[in-house]
Chains A and B, each alone.
Chain A
Amino acid sequence: MHPEQAQTTDVEILRNIAGGDEQALSSLYDRYRLILFGLILRILHSQAEAEDVLQEVFLQVWRRASDFDETRGRPFTWLVTLARSRAIDRLRSLASRDRTAQESIRDVPDSTSNAADDAVKSEQGEIVRSALKELPDEQRKTLLLAYFEGLTQSEIAERLKTPLGTVKTRMRSGMIKLRELLGERVKDLI
């Protein structure tokens, strides 16, 4: 389903970016902006903040493409991990800087594009969404709270009024179940 070539191209693009090729950065941006912007917007709920973070992410890719080690992970995982952690950092600094800022950024736009727009990854998205649906509610909730709201295990325990041990078990079981459901396909997804 997932052409091995595309994977090589991601690696090549990153190599070119590391060599100072602006064109390569543009093509990486064009390839993943929809999915990464969706992720950041889902975390920050603000178009303006999310655009700022997306720009920051690609600037960091520009500066640090040479740090990417293809033997230690996949380019897409690297990108997603970078985007998610930048967005969570921003979320925390917004929360600590100004509580009211958080209130005012609740202007989530409805313009979330159809998943089909993102020709590169829409099929893969369907696979993950249906795998998530198969997880028990409380496991799914634990994973999503950690991933999209940046909560630690003890913060989740507090939020859900659930013992910490239970949260840890749910998180681990949820991840194991998700890995099982995705199986070998996880390699094609990312």
Chain B
Amino acid sequence: MREHEDYKEMIAAHALGALEAAEARELDAHLASCAECRVEFESWQDVAASLVYAAPTSKPSAELRSRLLASVRAEAAQPSSPVIIKESVKSKGIAVESSKVESNVVPFEKPARRSWSTASQVWAIAASLAFIALIASLVLLWNRNNAMQQEMARVTTQLDEAQVELTREREILSREREARELISAPESRIMTLAGTEMATRARAKFVYDRKTGRAMLMADDLPPAPAGKAYQLWYIAEGKPPMPGHVFNTNAAGHAEMRDQLSEEARSATIFAVTLEPSNGVNAPTGPKYLLSATS
């Protein structure tokens, strides 16, 4: 359990947004209950925000301003927004006033006795008002519909992203669990492979369980194999020809993970090597060595 002082140490990094997600959540919970740290956090936020000046200012295109205002208006057109509330209040005000005028001044008979043309004019005005109201409500509905569609598209994208992220996290987790199990097996062996002159920065860890033969290779900084080629792992026991392992390739970042199942014989190997071979693999090594275990 962290103490107040530990949290205090983390605040500056939090203002920079640099804590790990779990740490950030923990600190947020502390901030909610500790006024002193909250004040401290606010002052660090000011310092962090000053970094905005490390970026050169830049002009967005002129259309963006009108685009922004258009979408603000589209939102304002929704019934829940403050603008509409004001309008309905206003129209209520007018209604109240006009009924007052009616009761105070105008006797009802007089207009009824007016000519037919005046009456039809009144009807025409009423009809066009109704028509305008109809159009206005259509525009409102249309805007609202648009805004909702946009919102839905946004939510769908977010959901997709979240699902992709989740799948990826799950894969990582299951690989990590597998590696952990393998490493903690009672008869597991861990070998370090170093890059040869073909790839001096390359390195790899090879873990295998001598009892079950389950094995995993994790390589880094190994250049991706050229087209038609792949890397192949070899198990070498003293006085015997190298035994072939699986072929694999690295990703663009030079990272590779490969699982293999070692035969009884291969489990007695003392040397592990990786060579570059045709992409289907071969039975005896033909290409140059890229990774080699330290001979013990």
Contacts and interface: CB of A to CB of B under 8 A. Distances in A.
Please say whether chains A and B are actual partners in one complex.
Answer: yes
Interface of A: 19-20, 22, 25-26, 29-30, 33-39, 41-42, 47, 50-51, 54-55, 58-59, 62-63, 72-74, 76-77, 80-81, 84-85, 88, 93, 96-97, 99, 109, 111-115, 117-118, 121-122, 124-125, 127-129, 132, 143-144, 146-148, 150-154, 156, 168, 171-172, 175-176, 178-179, 182, 186-187, 189-190
Contacts of A81: 45, 48-49
Interface of B: 9, 12-13, 15-20, 38, 42-61, 64-65, 67-69, 71-73, 75-76, 81-83, 86, 161, 164-165, 168, 252
Contacts of B56: 38, 42, 112-113, 115
B72 A77 contact: no
Contact of B51 (A51, A85, A143): A143
A144 B60 contact: no
The 8 tightest CB contacts between A and B, nearest first, are A20-B82, A42-B55, A128-B53, A146-B18, A125-B53, A175-B12, A38-B57, A80-B49
Contacts of B64: 33, 51, 54-55
Given A38-B57, A54-B64, A128 B16 contact: no
6 contacts: A26-B65, A54-B64, A80-B49, A125-B57, A171-B12, A189-B53
A189 B18 contact: no
Given A20-B76, A63-B75, A39 B55 contact: yes
Contacts, number: 185
Instruction: Tell me if B's interface is mostly helix, strand, loop or mixed.
Output: helix
A54 B97 CA distance: 45
A128 B58 CA distance: 17
B50 A182 contact: yes
Given A29-B68, A59-B72, A121-B57, 10 more contacts: A25-B69, A34-B59, A37-B59, A41-B58, A51-B60, A77-B45, A112-B58, A153-B20, A172-B12, A179-B47
